[in-house]
Structure 1
C-alpha cells in the first residue's frame, strides 16, 4: 500500500527520468533489437514475434524481481522509496497530462502548427500535418482517455494483483511485464508491412491484458464525470453505444466515455466517430483533464483499499 501511494506521488511530483535512465527506454531498445533480428517470411516473423514478446516481458519481470530483492535491503524508508520509484517508472499520468496541456496551450495561443507538432510528437501516431483545430483537440482528448488505461490503470491493477498474491516483488514484476508488452505494442503492434506478422502476438497480448482494466477505467471516467460536475449519464450512454466502434477492443471504451462526459464527438477520420456534438475545443480539453484526474484518483483509492483490506 505504501509503495503504491508513494509511486503515484512521485509520478505526480517528480515526473519521468531522462530516457537514458528510464526502464521503458531500455525495453524499447530490446524490442528494437528484436525487430532488427527478425526473419523475412511471414510464418517465421510470427514465430519470432511470439518469442520476442515472451523474452521482453520475461526480462522486464525478472529485472523487476532482481531490483526488488536488491532494494529491499536498503535501510529504513529508503527501501519503500526506491521500490516506489521503480513502480512509478511504469506509470505515466503526469507525463500524459503534461503533453495534453502543451497541445491545449498551443491551441489557446492560436498556434495550430505548434499544436499539430505537439500532438503528433507526444500523443498520437497518425499524420497530423493537415488536421484542423477540432481534429487536433480530438486527438489530444482521445489519447488522454485511452492512455488512462495504458499509462495508469492497467499497471496499477497488475501491481495490486501481484502484491495481493506474492507481495511487493510480485506486484512490481507483473506491473513491469505489462509495461513491457504495452511498450512493444506501441512499437510493433500495427497491421502494416512486416509488423502484421511480427507484432501479432504482442497486439493480442496487449488487448488481453488491457481488457478488464479498460472497462474499469471507463467506469471510473463515468464516476469522474459526476465528480467534475459533468454528464455522467452522457458518459455512460456514449460508453454503452460507442465503446465497441474502434478497431481495438479496449481503446474505444474510455474514449467513448470521455466523449459522452464532455458532450463532444471524438473522431479519427476514416476510422471512428465517438460521442455526439461538436469536436472538442481548448476548454473541453481542460475539462477532460479534470475528469481524468478524478477518474485516476478513484482508481487509486480502490487499489489502496484492496491492498489495505487484504488478509
Structure 2
C-alpha cells in the first residue's frame, strides 16, 4: 500500500514542479537543509581535525535532515494515508528542479538577447560558482549550458533515482548530500579537508544516476532531432576528462548533442582552474543553444519519470 502512495506522490511532485517550480517566499525543504548544514558547520569547523569535523557534519546533518521528515511522514501515515500523500508529494516536488533550472537559465538567455553583457553576467552569477566578471558572451553561454547539463543529473535524474528507491526519504537523503557538497565540497584552503567527506559521498551517490542520465540524454537528443550520434561518441570519448567523475558524463553528452565545445579553463574565487574541453569546436556557441539544452532537460526528465512509473507499477502488480 505504501509503495502506491509513494509512486503517486512522485508523479504529483513532478507535475507540480513542472507547473510552478520553486516560487519565491514559499517554505522550502532544501533551504532548511542548507540552514542545518550551516548550523553544524558553525559548531564543528573550529575542531582541530577538519576531516573528522567534516565527517561529523555529514553524519549529524543526514540524521537530522532525513530523521525529521521520516518522523513527520510516519505520523502523517498514522493519521491518514491522504495526509501522508500530501506531505510526500510536497517533499518530492521540492526536491526536483526542472522548472527552476529552466527558468533561471532562461534569464541568462533573455539578458544575452535583450540586455547587456553586465546584466548577462549578473544573471549567470545566480546559477554558477565561477567569477562572472571573467566571462565574455561565449563564456556566459557555455556556463549556462554546462549548468543545465550538470543539473539535469544533480537536480532531476539523481533525486528521481533515489525517490524511485525510497520515496521522498530516499530523495531527501540524496539532496542533503548534494546540498552539503554545493556548500562545503570545494577544494580550496577552507574546505579541502572539512568538505572532503561530503564531496566524496556526493561523488558516490551520483555515480550511477549521472551515467543513467547521460544515456537518457542521448535518447532525448534523438527525440528532439539533435545530434544523438555525436552525443554518444563525445560521451564515450570525453566523459572522463572532467575533474568531476560525474559532471563530465552529462556535459559531454550535451556538448555532442549541440555540436559545440564546452568546459575549458574557468575562474573560481579569483583563481584560474585549468580544465580540458569537452566536445568538438564545430561552430561558435549561440545563446539559442541554451534553449536547445532545455529540450534535452525536459525530455530527459519526462523519460525518467515514465520509467519510474512503469517499474513501480510492475513491482506493485507482480
**1:253 matched to 2:259:** no
Q: Report what 1:204 is aligned to.
A: 200
Query: How far apart in 1 are the matches of 2:81 and 2:174?
Result: 29
Instruction: Give 1:224's match in structure 2, choosing from 212, 220, 223.
Output: 220
Unaligned runs of 5+ residues in structure 2 are 1-6, 266-273
CA distance in 1, matches of 2:227, 2:9: 34
Paired residue total: 301
1:127 matched to 2:169? The reply is no
| Residue 305 of structure 2 is aligned to residue 304 of structure 1 | no
Distance 1:107 1:309, change over 3 A: same
Q: Using the TM superposition, give the Cα deviation of residue 5 of structure 1 relative to its aligned residue in structure 2, in angstroms.
A: 0.6
User: Which residue of 1 is the match for residue 35 of structure 2?
Assistant: 29
Q: Give the Cα–Cα distance (whole angstroms) in 2 for the partners of residues 267 and 175 of structure 1.
A: 29
Structure 1 residue 17, shift from structure 2 partner: 4.5
Q: 1:155 — aligned with what?
A: 159
Contact 1:120 1:127 in 2 (8 A): yes
Instruction: Confirm whether residue 180 of structure 1 aligns to residue 176 of structure 2.
Output: yes
**5 Å matches for 1:276-287?**
276-277=280-281, 278-287=283-292
Aligned match of 1:60 = 65
Shift of 1:280: 2.3
Contact 1:266 1:280 in 2 (8 A): no
Distance between the aligned counterparts of 1:34 and 1:194, measured in 2?
A: 15
- Provide the TM-score with structure 1 as the length reference: 0.92
How far apart are the structure 2 equivalents of 1:301 and 1:128? 37
**Alpha-carbon distance between aligned partners in 2 of 1:71 and 1:142, rounded to the nearest angstrom:** 40
Structure 1: gaps of 5 or more residues? 163-170
Aligned-residue offset at 1:23: 1.3
Q: Supply the distance in 1 between the matched residues of 2:114 and 2:26 (Cα, whole angstroms).
A: 33
The 1:51–1:19 alpha-carbon spacing in structure 2 relative to 1, beyond 3 Å, is farther
Preserved contact between residue 137 and residue 279 of structure 1 (Cα < 8 Å): no
Q: CA deviation at 1:110?
A: 4.6
Partners of 1:76 and 1:69 lie apart in 2 by: 10
Q: Say whether 1:38 aligns with 2:44.
A: yes
The CA distance in 2 between the partners of 1:70 and 1:272, in whole Å, is 50
Contact 2:185/2:191 (8 A) holds in 1: yes
Secondary structure of the 1:21 match is coil
Q: Answer yes or no: is 1:139 the counterpart of 2:143.
A: yes
CA-based RMSD of the aligned residues comes to 1.7
Q: Secondary structure at the match of 2:130?
A: coil
The answer to whether the 8 A contact 2:13-2:93 is kept is: yes
Aligned to 2:259: 263
| TM-score of the two chains, using structure 2 as the length reference | 0.90
